[in-house]
Amino acid sequence: MAKQSFHGPLQRVNDCCWRIPKSYKPGMRVDGLIYASEQMIEQIKGDQAPEQVANVAFLPGIQHASLAMPDIHWGYGFCIGGVCATDPDEGGVISPGGVGYDINCGVRLVTSNLSYQDVKPHLAELVDQLFRHVPTGVGRGGKYKFNKQELRQLMQQGPAYLQDRGLTTAEDLEHTEGRGCLDGAISDFVSDRAIERGSGQCGTLGSGNHFLEVQVVDAIFDEVAAAAMGLQKDMVCVMIHSGSRGLGYQVCDDALKQLRGVPERYGIELPDRQLACAPINSPEGERYLGAMCAAANYAWCNRQLLMAQARDVFAQVFGRSWHELQMNLIYDVAHNIAKLEMHQIGGRDRRVWVHRKGATRAFPPHHVELPEAYQSIGQPVLIPGDMGRASWVLAGQVGSMEQTFGTACHGAGRRMSRTQAVKQAKGRRIDQELAARGVIARARSWKGLAEEQPDAYKDVNTVVDVVHRANLASKVARMRPIGVIKG
């Protein structure tokens, strides 16, 4: 399916947006809107991701449009980069395909008072120590162990649960999206199998596109916003990308099994079985939401513990505490999640469930959910690129609330499947190619690096440019990678 091209209509709305009219397929309730440049749209039509945008428009209760960000590519049910909002008061549904298997996969960025010149002589040692002490790889467990009761408490509270253990601070919580906790979590809805899979994995990186990266701020585009975030040119930062590990995967898998036949039971007709869903106010919908929120809270704990281990390694290598190194959390954003949010639709405020599947919240200045430090500039939006080019920090803008339910892209977006990337990398040493670019990479396998090679991804700079020009989020700073660990 992913190899087929899209042959449906794509009408140009403006320089950054393209419409799939709801007349394209009988059953579409709203238009599809894809954010992309003219140059990018040809590549986007190369697989079935736009068809998935059209299919999402069938969901009951969907508002405004079925949306896709410029990092769009084919996924399960929803495309990666897919966004939609459903209104429970209009029979709105919740769809696991609109969240993804890795529930609350997300990114956090940590500052330091170290410059590139400070770190350069110690970079190889630093990356090796990170690789040694931060667990990476498929199924790998870590040093933090939680029994069944503890894990259920952790899933109810998020990273606040870790405060008594000295593993999080009030400032860390303040600078985590939603303070790292979705109130709707019901850990009793998480299966014993999911608990078993997650019991030893909190504080582990995992595999695939997950990473822990040492980066250098190489350009500042907004001095005021950068200062508010604590970013300076030549500063060394740490970016962490991971999610809910085996626990979240199992929650999604369990839900998809439980939802078999459920749409038909409620008279919901879908063009794709992967869009399996349930009305939000149904027992099946409530059960998935309770488990999904619990897995999301687990993911925030996972990234918190990964950051704690990174802080410890930096302290060990540089002989100063992480406090002395000023390793402060700028922000943590989720990009595989559904959240109940207030948005203005049709001239009035309405509470809707916003599905973000490979998409990042991008709330503008003065939004009630932002920390005080970011009220004047907008929410930090963290956009990882690839191991060889760059990652970005943006700030949410008012256009996101007007156009995309407060949403921007979440990364560069793949342009090759993992299979294609491995085939293309045959006979090459990706680690040596990265070293030639000034990036020290450590991974559990050659295949892991091959799958995630820079050529497998779109150029993040062009993706970010669309988001910036569309006024969804504005450029603040660009970081280049210098060291990365992966599964």
Closest CA to 231 of 115, 146, 372, 315: 115
* Helices then strands, each counted (H, E), the chain: 16, 19
Token readout for 57 is 């428009």
Length of the chain counted residue by residue: 487
Q: How far apart are CA 342 and CA 356, in angstroms?
A: 15
Q: By the 8 A CB rule, do 164 and 267 touch?
A: no
Q: By the 8 A CB rule, do 210 and 261 touch?
A: no
- Helices 245-258/283-318 angle, 10° precision: 170
Q: By the 8 A CB rule, do 288 and 257 touch?
A: no
* Residue 8 phi, psi (nearest 5): -80, 180
Closest CA to 444 of 207, 122, 234: 207
Closest CA to 241 of 410, 435, 25: 410
Question: Pick the catalytic residue: 64, 335, 343, 410?
Answer: 410
- For CA atoms 368, 371, 377, 379, give the dihedral sign: negative
Q: How far is CA 367 from CA 377, 379, 458, 470, in A?
A: 10, 9, 31, 19
Q: By the 8 A CB rule, do 252 and 95 touch?
A: no
Q: How far apart are CA 381 and CA 331, in angstroms?
A: 8
Q: How far is CA 173 from CA 167, 301, 316, 333, 465, in A?
A: 11, 10, 24, 12, 30
Residue that has been written with the tokens 């085939």 in this structure: 423
Q: How far apart are CA 81 and CA 413, in angstroms?
A: 8
Q: How far apart are CA 395 and CA 408, in angstroms?
A: 10
410 is catalytic: yes
* Residue 111 phi, psi (nearest 5): -85, 180
Q: Pairing mode, if any, of strands 17-20 and 106-110?
A: unpaired
Q: How far apart are CA 237 and CA 230, in angstroms?
A: 11
Q: How far apart are CA 251 and CA 292, in angstroms?
A: 7
Q: How far apart are CA 365 and CA 370, in angstroms?
A: 8
- Residues 6 or more apart whose CB falls under 8 angstroms from that of 419 comprise none
Which residues participate in catalysis according to the annotation?
Answer: 410
